[in-house]
Amino acid sequence: MPPASVSWRYLTVATAATLALGALTGCGSSGGSSASGARSIAFIAGNTGDPFYITMKCGAAAEAKKLGDGFSATGSPEWSVPEQVSSVDSVAANRPAGVLISPVDPNSLAGPVRTLQSNGSKVAIVDTTLTDGSLGITHISSNNVQGGQKAADTMAQLVGGTGEVVVLTPDLTTTTTNARIQGFKQELAAKYPGIRIDDVRQVGDTAQGAASAVSDELSAHPGLLGIFAANSQTGEGVGTGLKNAGKQGKVKVVSFDAGPQQVQALESGTVDALISQDPYGIGQQAVEQLNNALTGKPVTATIQTDLASITRDNLNDPSIAQFLYKASCDS
């Protein structure tokens, strides 16, 4: 994800997801074990309306069911420190046996996570990270540096190995997007000296901010051939901005994540490639590692999951299916 966080196009999905999460919470336990004796596992998403986190929830819920755990999910439809802290406080009061959380800030969530642990909950850190690496029994995320490298390789193919590109990112504090930018820069420097990065620009975590930035970048860099969007919301805004400027198809777009909206944008030509993660697998593995900790089995401290570069040419390849995100656990 995200890093992933909310945008205007997710408002409807976020509302539905909030209702669905409320139903799931009702099915979870109110403490370390449910009335039937099942362990309780709670998921605190970075953004409940984002298909990335919806898909992660689906993977976690499926694994919990398989292992006989109670499961609940919560979070905010916005990428917000205060709202996530509130969610953590609510979960901590119930003292679940295990918690998987995607921290929306690497420092501000450290205290709340310590509270979870001091209450006896085992904590899995998923997707994003905390500056204090001692927190959490396991850390599971996409290999975001690898994702940035894949974005660079894909961009190089799209622009013919030479030309000017820019990077648009929601901010420079989120660990996931920073790692993607790091990988993108490293790969271009090592393998594609003909490609120059003109700008790395913070645009805020909304499609509108990215769309507005596109106009500025086109004016500042008339020879621009490519844009790397470091998350899905930014990618959507880039596509809109290029369409408004009459540059769709002329400036190539590589964007992160593969939710239903992103896939539709790929199919329509609004973006040219998607770098997709495996959030379902992240959710599964987090619950598995929590259960290992709770049952005295060995725990893997760090797990990095694979990513895929998706283009219109390989979209329907069966090997790509696991990297396509869900709008709901029934889809």
Q: How far apart, in whole angstroms, are the C-alpha atoms of residue 247 and residue 34?
A: 56
Q: Is 312 helix (H, G, I), strand (E, B) or coil?
A: coil
DSSP 8-state symbol, 270: S
Q: Are residues 263 and 201 in the same domain?
A: yes
Q: Are residues 261 and 293 in the same domain?
A: no
Question: Is 322 contained in some domain?
Answer: no
Q: What is the pLDDT of residue 32?
A: 56
Per-residue pLDDT of the chain (331 residues; tens, 9 = 90+): 544 333 322 333 333 333 334 333 333 333 455 434 579 999 999 999 889 999 999 999 999 999 999 999 999 998 899 999 999 999 999 999 999 999 999 999 999 999 999 999 999 999 999 999 999 999 999 999 999 999 999 999 999 999 999 999 988 888 889 999 999 999 999 999 999 999 999 998 888 899 999 999 999 999 999 999 998 888 889 988 998 999 999 999 999 999 998 999 999 998 999 999 999 999 999 999 999 999 999 999 999 998 999 999 999 999 999 999 999 998 7
Residue 296, Cβ density class (10 Å: 0-12 exposed, 13-18 middle, ≥19 buried): exposed
Q: Are residues 180 and 297 in the same domain?
A: no
Question: Is 23 contained in some domain?
Answer: yes
**Number of compact structural domains in the chain:** 2
Out of 238, 255, 276, a domain closes at 276
Q: What is the pLDDT of residue 25?
A: 37
Q: Is 69 helix (H, G, I), strand (E, B) or coil?
A: coil
Question: Is 331 contained in some domain?
Answer: no
Which residues does residue 42 pair with via DSSP β-bridges, in sequence order?
A: 72, 99
Q: How far apart, in whole angstroms, are the C-alpha atoms of residue 85 and residue 109?
A: 7
- C-alpha distances in Å from residue 126, one per residue of 143, 170, 299: 12, 19, 15
Q: Are residues 188 and 283 in the same domain?
A: no
Q: Are residues 200 and 287 in the same domain?
A: no
* Domain encompassing residue 247: 144-276
pTM, to two decimals: 0.81
Q: Are residues 58 and 149 in the same domain?
A: no
Q: What is the pLDDT of residue 263?
A: 94
